Amino acid sequence: MNAACATPIPLVDLIAYHAGELAEGDSERIEAHYFGCASCSERLETLSRLDRGVRALVHGGGLMAGSTAAMVQHARTQGIVVREYRTDPGEHVQCTAGPDDQLLITRYGGLRGITSVDLHFRGAIVGSDQTLEMQMPDLPVDQATGDLVLIAPARLNRSFPALEIEVRLTVQGPNGPRPEGPYHYHHRPWELLDEDERRRRAGR
Amino acid sequence: MPELDAETLTTDAELAGLVMRAGAAGSPAAEAELCRRFGRRVRLYGRRRLQDSAVDDLVQRVMLIVLAKLRAGQVEAPERIDSFVLGTARFVTRELSRVGNREDPLDQAMPLPLDETRADPLAVQSLNACLESLAMRERAVVALTFFHDQNATEIGDALGMEAGHVRISRHRAIARLRACMGLGAEEVVA
């Protein structure tokens, strides 16, 4: 444990430094401090460890988060294997998760001008009366595409049985909440599909 | 000169003084500890200023210059060793950043393995559990910050948020992640 710093750099400034947001003079002031301060350099190092940890998590296909189409493209350029499906309200999509997929992207369209949605996922297990349900409040909408871009670990989807999925969104608009959707996904496990069906469910 | 337990020296200045007094005869434990402490800070500096692939080189070059200057008694103010290391890091970074610059290969090694200037990686499964405890919007901000290298303005544009709101959300999320991972508590913005 390092001796405490009498004048610690505020975390908000360490984050801004790490993110490259500071003017050169402010960066130099922070560098002059942490080079002489074991405590603050350790706090900055923690940000670097979190940064690398999040990268490792995404590369390992472990992230579940709302995101943007640009970040998905960035993941592709990093060599991450991505399967992507996009639906507009009322549309149906045949989907699966392949054995090599790392991230499974679902995109929900029709949300131009919207910044926040609540998501309700309901998956009826085919051949049973059981259902899987999930709620995700306050998901951000990608402003460049007008889509909700949801990243999920492909291994999570590979663990699913055959599901008839209905996703409903509640849009938080300027005139109060309103429903959007439903968006329909017909998920089938990869191992149950023949080659033609796998191609049909290739996504983008 | 008798070898001291360098790790028990409380200040960087004492450590620098010890290396300087040992001179050419060397003080291996003190030199290794100096590299351990400052190598990590130079690494943080390099990550902000250089491509990842150049950071190891920066750390080694800076620490070898610093040690050589201390051994030769050419550091005027060893009590401000932090300023000397930072100045050296700035100089070497400029040299490494020059277009087409090819630095000579290093002909010596640091007195400790380079790995000891690297922080231990976080356990990804624990980090995932901590991320899942965040609100979805905070998770998105964290992913865009660290994975997509976007700043607050870029994230604000991408998600339809004010940059100031992104900064608050990012600060809150990171403070919570630090606490959840047992990396030390920071004040969480309400």
The DSSP-derived string for chain A is: -PPPPSSPPPHHHHHHHHTT-S-HHHHHHHHHHHHT-HHHHHHHHHHHHHHHHHHHHHHTT---EEE-HHHHHHHHHTT--EEEEEE-TT-EEEE---TT--EEEEEE---TT--EEEEEEEEEETTSS-EEEEEEEEEE-BTTTTBEEEEEEHHHHHT--SEEEEEEEEEEETTEEEEEEEEEEEE--GGG--HHHHHHT---
Cβ atoms A79, A172 nearer than 8 A: no
Cβ B137–A139 below 8 Å, yes or no?
Answer: yes
B177 touching A (Cβ < 8 Å)? yes
What average pLDDT is seen over chain B? Answer: 89
> Closest by alpha carbon to A186, among A204, A155, A200, A165?
A165
- List the single residue in A11, A42, A54 with the smallest CB-CB distance to B171: A11
Cβ A136–B128 below 8 Å, yes or no?
Answer: no
Q: A65-200 has which fold?
A: Immunoglobulin-like (2.60.40)
- Average pLDDT for runs of 10 along chain A of length 204: 80 95 97 96 96 96 95 97 97 96 97 95 96 96 98 95 97 86 96 92 84
For the beta carbon of residue B27, count every other beta carbon within 10 angstroms: 24
- Contacts of residue B171 in chain A, CB cutoff 8 Å? 11-12, 15
> Closest by alpha carbon to B178, among A196, A134, A139, A15?
A15
Q: What is the pLDDT of residues B158-190, one digit of tens each?
A: 999 999 999 999 999 999 999 999 987 776 655
Instruction: Tell which of B148, B149, B172, B181 to mutate to test the A interface (max A CBs under 10 Å).
Output: B148
Residues in CB range of B111: below 8 A, 6 or more apart: B28, B31, B32, B35, B67
In the structure, what pLDDT confidence band is assigned to residue B7 with cuts at 50, 70 and 90?
low
User: Considering the entire predicted model, what is its pTM?
Assistant: 0.91
Minimum CA–CA partner of A22 in chain B: B151
- Contacts of residue B184 in chain A, CB cutoff 8 Å? 42-43, 46
Sketch out chain B's domains with CATH numbers: 6-117 (no CATH), 124-180 (1.10.10.10)
Cβ B119–A67 below 8 Å, yes or no?
Answer: no
Instruction: Tell which of A49, A72, A150 to mutate to test the B interface (max B CBs under 10 Å).
Output: A49
In the structure, what pLDDT confidence band is assigned to residue B25 with cuts at 50, 70 and 90?
confident
Cβ atoms A31, B86 nearer than 8 A: yes
Portion 132-171 of B in contact with A at CB < 8 A: 132, 135-137, 139-140, 142-148, 151-153, 157-161, 167, 170-171
Give me B5's structure tokens. Answer: 């337990």
Q: Which regions of chain A carry the CATH code 2.60.40?
A: 65-200
A14 touching B (Cβ < 8 Å)? no
Q: What confidence score (pLDDT) does residue B190 get?
A: 52
